Amino acid sequence: MKIRAVKHNNRKKTFEVRTSTKALVLPFSQADPKPTAVDPVRVSVVDEEAGREAFTYVLDSGRTGTVHVEQVLEYNQDPRHLRDLLLYRLTIEAQKRASASPLSKREISRRLGTSAAQLYRLLDQTNYRKSIDQLLALLQVLNCDVDLVVQSHVHEDHVAGLGAFPHARVTAHAADLPGLHHIDGLLAIYGYEDAALLERLRGWVETQFHYTPRPDAEPYVDGAVFDLGGVRLRAIHLPGHTRGHCALLAEPEGVLFLGDIDLTGFGPYYGDAWSDLADFERSLARVRAIEARVWVSFHHAGVIEDRPTFEAKLARFAARIGEREAALLAFLDAPRTLAELVTHRFLYPPHAALDFVDAAETRTIRQHLARLVADGRAEACGDSMWRRR
């Protein structure tokens, strides 16, 4: 990455560095020699001899120093730089294991299901266009197993890969742990009352999501810290989607994995027996207050690198709860049965035809109805009917 401009600010004790994509700050305390009030920076310039990948500064005393752009990026925990650093470290590990492996390069390529040329590209530490997934697959071929899997929560789409890591330690929040121990525990999380539906779901989860029970899975609690060697992962309990749903904060980088507070246009999902609308709302308030620098959304929203964007997406995501409730209240302009409300759809679009949609709608609508009645905005009338007050 090239440096476009650099300025020094002796009052704030910082260098202000501008690249093609962002403005970054480096405190004087990170430089060597360190500028001081007695020996301040007199001049700072982009270093042309370093290909504009560094800047040089001169102190009043005449001492000089040079700072490479990578030092600035690392201090600022730039996500792209961190990704490239991870790729580099994984590649070096793959090179070591490939050199020590009894397998030939041809056999490694065969097991990986790729060409020899692609294998050499994967082993090239200067190639930053490869994916982390490709490198992880290569490391697995070279007998580098995953040691630990930390679940944000237990739903079918978040446990689908566990079968690939039979020797890894697996852990989830204690409240969701039954869903890992046995498929009946997972089905209990859904809590659907229709026995035939539960059996269809059992087959769906086993065949489409490759459910693998982990009776050895261990519990963690709110605030649990996992030391990953240079990085700590802290669990933050944010129930509502499930009883044990957690966000995972990578420290000291400040990267927050949001779990299924996923910031999608669909909005919060609280349609299972182990979901809770009020808990979800409290979790939405709590997640906003967590100090983080990067937010990683599961499903479709991707990686967010600035707080204003995160807060805007979180506000839109949370607003879906109020929109559903307003739509429900408007539809209660006449007495409605629960079946009529479910058919109308407030969670899923009308054309949604998945097996579990009616059950999820039912659970969602019941929670909103209970709140509307408690708030005096709706009332029960007749035999299992509700209307707006």
Amino acid at 198: L
What region, left, alpha or beta, does residue 363 occupy, with left being phi > 0 and alpha being psi -120 to 50 degrees?
Answer: alpha
Of 266, 289, 288, 230, the C-alpha closest to 347 is: 266
Determine contact, residues 250/257, Cβ cutoff 8 Å. Answer: yes
- The 3-state secondary structure of the chain reads CCEEEEEEECCCCEEEEEECCCEEEEEHHHCCCCCCCCCCEEEEEECHHHCCCEEEEEECCCCEEEEEHHHHHHHCCCHHHHHHHHHHHHHHHHHHHHHHCCCCHHHHHHHHCCCHHHHHHHCCCCCCCCCHHHHHHHHHHCCCCCCEEECCCCCHHHCCCHHHCCCCEEEEEHHHCHHHHCHHHHHHHHCCCCHHHHHHHHHHHHHHCCCCCCCCCEEECCCCEEECCCCEEEEEECCCCCCCCEEEEEECCCEEECCCCCCCCCCCCCCCCCCCHHHHHHHHHHHHHCCCCEEECCCCCCEECCHHHHHHHHHHHHHHHHHHHHHHHHHCCCCEEHHHHHHHCCCCCCCCCCCCHHHHHHHHHHHHHHHHHHCCCEEEECCCEEEEC
How many angstroms separate the CA atoms of 28 and 46, rounded?
A: 16
How many angstroms separate the CA atoms of 69 and 79, rounded?
A: 14
Determine contact, residues 55/46, Cβ cutoff 8 Å. Answer: yes
Determine contact, residues 114/137, Cβ cutoff 8 Å. Answer: no
What would the mean pLDDT of 176-184 be, rounded to a whole number?
Answer: 97
> What's the mean pLDDT when you consider all of the chain?
93
CA 205, distance to chain mean position in Å, is 22
101 pLDDT more than 80 = yes
Of 337, 171, 373, 360, the C-alpha closest to 268 is: 360
Determine contact, residues 42/59, Cβ cutoff 8 Å. Answer: yes
Handedness of CA 187, 191, 192, 195 (dihedral sign): positive
The 10s digit of each residue's pLDDT in 343-365 is 999 999 888 878 899 999 999 99
What would the mean pLDDT of 74-84 be, rounded to a whole number?
Answer: 79
Angle formed by the axes of helices 79-100 and 132-141, to 10°? 20
Q: Which pLDDT band, with edges at 50, 70 and 90, does 20 fall under?
A: confident
192 pLDDT more than 80 = yes
Please give the pLDDT value at position 281.
98
What would the mean pLDDT of 110-131 be, rounded to a whole number?
Answer: 90
pTM: 0.74
Q: Which pLDDT band, with edges at 50, 70 and 90, does 232 fall under?
A: very high
How many angstroms separate the CA atoms of 123 and 82, rounded?
A: 19
CATH number of the 148-317 domain: 3.60.15.10
Determine contact, residues 239/208, Cβ cutoff 8 Å. Answer: no
* Pairing mode, strands 3-9 and 246-251: unpaired
What would the mean pLDDT of 40-55 be, rounded to a whole number?
Answer: 95
Amino acid at 380: A
The number of beta carbons lying within 10 Å of the beta carbon of residue 210 is 14
Domain positions in the chain are 3-74, 79-141, 148-317, 320-388
What would the mean pLDDT of 155-169 be, rounded to a whole number?
Answer: 89
How many angstroms separate the CA atoms of 352 and 43, rounded?
A: 64
CATH number of the 320-388 domain: 1.10.10
CA 3, distance to chain mean position in Å, is 30
163 pLDDT more than 90 = no
Amino acid at 319: A
Please give the pLDDT value at position 81.
79
> Tokens 């990267």 sit at which residue?
255
